[in-house]
Amino acid sequence: MGRYIVRRILLMIPVFLGVSLVVFFLMDLAPGDIVAFMAPQEATEEEIEQLRKELGLDGPLIQRYFRYMGNLLRGDFGMSLSMKQPVIDVFKARFPATAKLAFGSIIVAMLISVPLGIAAATHHRSWLDGFSMVTAMLGVSMPSFWLGLLLIILFALRLGWLPSGGIHGFSSVILPAITLGAGQAGHLTRITRSSMLEVIRQDYVRTARAKGVSERVVIYKHALKNALIPIITIFGSTLGNAFGGAVAIETVFAWPGVGRLTVFAINHRDIPLATGCIMLFTMIMTVTMLLVDIAYAYADPRIKARYSQ
Amino acid sequence: MATEQRKYSLDEIRAYKKRSLAAEVWRNYKKSPSAMVGLFVVLLLIIVAIIAQFTFDYSKDIVQQNVRNRLQPPSANHPFGTDQYGRDIFIRVLYGAKYSLSVGIVSVAISCAVGSTLGLIAGYFGGAVENLILRFCEIFMGIPSVLLGIAIMAAFGQSLWVLMLATGLVYVPMFARTARAAVLPVRDQEYIEAAHVCGLNDFQIIFGHVLPNSMAPIIVQVTMGVANGILTASHLSFLGLGVPVPAPEWGAMLSSGREFIRDYPYLTFFPGLAIMITVLAFNLVGDGLRDALDPRLKQ
């Protein structure tokens, strides 16, 4: 098990390096000379070069990349040009909001998809099955930002039950979490259904029924545990989708998270902030996925056995 | 007995084989009403996009502002109402079909061509090449797709072509992994060995023998990919990083209608509905195709 964890951590290093290369070079291609733009209008050529040096934005691309990575290893992601603060501080201040939104959306997705998926599988080929599959298909196909706007129109503007944006208290997280969770729920419902269908055809379920165990216990006690394994397996990527989807949802709900921060950074040509945000976002996601996988390997004896040899 | 059997010429066998495979898939596909609805809507959208392209004059009907007509509610004259510049939303939505469809289709062509080739190579050669390609995929999958799209749009500037490229590149790893997984069971088949013995080179084997036998998952991925591509592209446009204004791209229309959401919700309602119907139609076709290509998967 220890070896498995070490191996996974080592494998993350080249991925991180690759991500940093891709992001750094892409951001470097972005048009416009930010330093010249920032400098006061009467600044001379020399003063601009001076400023460039101060910001660590001088020299050829490769040199800048290595300097950036050297700083990054010490936890320094550079200075945000538009906020005049270290990127890491800006990110840290905004991240909890995004984490709240992402986890809220996963809870919503689970609350919708697990019962719906079970109902569809246990009533295979009935109207209930059809209903859940149509709902799931709509959830997958709906642009999340549109759903968000529709919810705002209905619950915030027309009915006035919930706030339409910003972050203040529990009520403000409800609409964004539902919006972000709905798309995820579509995927998860389909997965729950097909995995449940598979499990309830297995011998041990038949045995349980033959023993005279009630249908309720068969489904919720015997079958559900195994049927949920695929959902746990993709928990990591669900979380990743939640983080990615948060970018648009935060914009819709004026949610002060890192998704909106990234869009802001791009729109304001704040390259250090944008680069830092994408890198940190990716790092947090990769590490979370790793933790999920490790926890999962601990929980499932079959996986543990595979790696303990 | 054997002498009485009719001898088939090679050409006849080939023709029979070809016809039967496509016919088989179509026969299975037809059985699903939802798949047929999806196909119908996709065809309808394509026809609408083509007709709109030739019926409406871009500078006059689509982008010309007419302030006297601004923010009219839906009526017989303007079925979806008019926007803040007095432009007819119905016409703009119809005209906008071409952006979503072309972004979806071109981006999938990019990701399928690049991704499937990488996946085929990875699956066929295995070893270090496979490892390298898989690591490469992990890098691109590590970055959330919308963020990667944003970074590409920021790097190359906003235009329809960059939007297609960005959306296409985002989904390259998905195709690579699908294609690789599809190749693995084919790789060790005897007919591949036979092709080697016949002296075919790797290129001929990959595209002549491996690809045709691992096509099914790739085809399904293509249809789903169009749906995903349209969604991702509309995301980028919504964030102001897609097709530049005033083009009637649905995501951008939705985004520009946001400020009027309190009093004029139809500005955001109809473009979003158009995106959803389009994505839904492609997803239905994808589902239908998957069931038709491999009935065993159907549950």
Q: What is the DSSP code string of A100-164?
A: HHHHHHHHHHHHHHHHHHHHHHHTTTSHHHHHHHHHHHHHHHS-HHHHHHHHIIIIIIIS--S-S
Residue B152 contacts A where some CB pair is shorter than 8 Å: yes
Domain that holds residue B267: 33-62+77-298
Q: A87-308 domain in CATH 3.30.70.1140?
A: no
State residue A95's pLDDT score: 92
Contact B154 A15 (CB under 8 A): no
Measured distance CA(B87)–CA(B56) in Å, rounded: 13
- Kindly state the percentage of chain B with pLDDT values over 70: 94
Is A27 in contact with A275 (CB distance < 8 Å)? yes
Q: Is the residue at B103 inside a domain?
A: yes
DSSP-assigned letter for residue B88: B
Q: Which residue of B has its CA nearest to A135?
A: B280
How far does the CA of residue A280 sit from the closest CA of chain B (Å)?
Answer: 10
pLDDT of B19 > 70? The answer is: no
Give the nearest partner residue to B147 out of A153, A198, A244, using CB atoms: A244
Q: Is the residue at B165 inside a domain?
A: yes
Closest residue by Cα to residue B116 from B183, B184, B201: B183
Domain of B227, CATH number, reads: 1.10.3720.10
C-alpha neighbours within 13 Å on the C-beta side of residue B133: 27
* Tokens encoding A256: 């002060």
Contact B276 A245 (CB under 8 A): no
Tell me which chain A residues have a C-beta less than 8 angstroms from the C-beta of B135: 14-15, 18
Q: Which residue of B has its CA nearest to A286?
A: B142
Domain count, chain B: 1
Contact A141 B140 (CB under 8 A): no
Tell me which chain B residues have a C-beta less than 8 angstroms from the C-beta of A138: 276, 280
State residue B1's pLDDT score: 45
Tell me which chain A residues have a C-beta less than 8 angstroms from the C-beta of B231: 141, 143
Q: Is the residue at B186 inside a domain?
A: yes
User: pLDDT digit string (tens) for B254-297?
Assistant: 888 888 888 888 888 999 999 999 999 999 999 898 888 876 65
State residue A168's pLDDT score: 79
Closest residue by Cα to residue A247 from A257, A238, A239: A257
Q: Which residue of B has its CA nearest to A242?
A: B144
Measured distance CA(A269)–CA(A32) in Å, rounded: 8
User: pLDDT digit string (tens) for B201-241?
Assistant: 888 898 888 888 888 889 888 988 999 999 999 999 998 88
Tens of each residue's pLDDT in chain A, 309 residues: 778 788 888 888 888 889 999 988 888 888 766 676 666 777 777 887 787 777 777 778 888 888 888 888 888 888 888 888 899 999 999 999 999 999 999 999 999 999 999 999 988 888 988 899 999 999 999 999 999 999 998 988 888 888 877 777 788 888 999 999 998 899 899 999 988 988 888 898 889 889 988 888 888 888 888 888 888 778 777 888 888 888 889 999 989 999 999 999 988 888 889 999 999 988 888 888 888 878 877 777 776 676 665
Residue B279 contacts A where some CB pair is shorter than 8 Å: yes
Interface test with A, best of B42, B131, B133, B146 (most A CBs within 10 A): B146
pLDDT of B299 > 50? The answer is: no
**Helix B145-156 crosses helix A235-252 at what angle (to 10 degrees)?**
50
How far does the CA of residue A286 sit from the closest CA of chain B (Å)?
Answer: 7
Q: Is the residue at B97 inside a domain?
A: yes
How far does the CA of residue A150 sit from the closest CA of chain B (Å)?
Answer: 8
Residue B239 contacts A where some CB pair is shorter than 8 Å: yes
State residue A82's pLDDT score: 82
| Residue boundaries of the structural domains of chain A | 87-308
State residue B295's pLDDT score: 61
